[in-house]
Amino acid sequence: MELHADFNAPIHLDTRSMPWVASPQPGVERRMLDRVGDEVARATSLVRYAPDSRFAEHEHGQGEEILVLSGVFADEHGEYPAGTYLRNPPGTRHAPRSGPGCELFVKLRQFQPGDDRRVCIDTRAASFVSGMVPGLRVLTLHEFKGEHVALVRWAPGTRFQAHAHWGGEEILVLEGVFSDEHGDYPAGSWLRSPHLSRHQPFSEPGCLIYVKVGHLHPEEARCAG
């Protein structure tokens, strides 16, 4: 299966208008954002666990990155409430579950070679620092060989300079409305911009976004078909 697999092409999805699709595991549904492969796939998805659902134990062949969007996610290593950021490196195993139910942003099989540090951050208790322009506050979640992952909070009326994305950029809008010269992107919007794409972002009402940059190098991009 290939879904939005041309990483040289920009894409914008309103995830909140997308249907939930059942996974092979009862009680676990997903909204597929991009995918290369079948059940074992390089994939970016929103995943929803119904209350008291669980997923079979499995190994992360090329890593798993998770941001808990709502509810409480859990496994044999602990419980992770909304706002938790997790990285399970290649070779780790777990049997995930949720008692009250939860919704997750999940990226599978996208770790660079050598990126083997487990990460668990409670972002709601962490401190943001000042960003590159007034009105921006940044919480760095992960950095490795040019790849950078962060939460970025934009105060109302904040504007950023025009810039190019070396290695691409991926954004999930968590709160508020993020904008650029191409459009407005309310909470639930997912954007993927290719290597060397340009824009000049801003936010009139303010917003909170998940941002990953530097992970879509041209030599790693592939075209569907």
Mean pLDDT, residues 175-192: 98
- Both ends of the chain: CA-CA distance in Å? 10
Alpha-carbon span 209 to 207, nearest angstrom: 6
Is 5 domain-assigned? Answer: no
**Region 13-26 average pLDDT:** 95
118 and 20 in a single domain? The answer is yes
Task: Read off the amino acid at residue 49.
Answer: Y
Residues 105, 137 within the same domain:
no
Residue for token digits 């109302």?
Answer: 156
- Ranges 41-45, 130-134, 137-141, 156-160: which has the least confidence: 41-45
pLDDT in the model for residue 225? 32
**Residue 68 domain-assigned (yes or no):** yes
pLDDT at position 217: 76
Q: What pLDDT is stored for residue 73 in this prediction?
A: 98
Q: pLDDT for 72-89, tens place per residue?
A: 999 999 999 999 999 999
In a shared domain, residues 115 and 136: no
Write b or e for each residue in 103-132: b if 16 or more Cβ atoms lie within 10 A of its Cβ, otherwise e.
bbbbbbbbbbeebeeeeebebeeeebeebe
Domain that holds residue 29: 16-122
- Predicted structure pTM score: 0.95
Opening angle at CA 194, ends 189 and 196, nearest 5: 125
- Average pLDDT over every residue of 124-138: 97
Domain count, the chain: 2
> 195 and 144, same structural domain?
yes
The CATH number linked to 84 is: 2.60.120.10
Residues near 60 by beta carbon (within 8 Å), at least 6 away in sequence: 88, 89, 90, 91, 92, 93, 108, 109
Same structural domain for residues 100 and 164? no
Alpha helix stretches (DSSP H) within 58-211:
none
Predicted pLDDT at 220: 52
| pLDDT higher than 50, residue 222 | no
Mark whether 48 and 138 lie in a shared domain.
no
Residue 8 falls inside a structural domain: no
Task: Please indicate, yes or no, whether residues 159 and 113 belong to a single structural domain of this protein.
Answer: no
What integer is the mean pLDDT of 109-137? 96
Write down the number of H helices and E strands in the chain.
0, 25
Asked whether residue 106 falls in the same domain as residue 45, the answer is yes
Residues 137 and 81 both lie in one domain: no
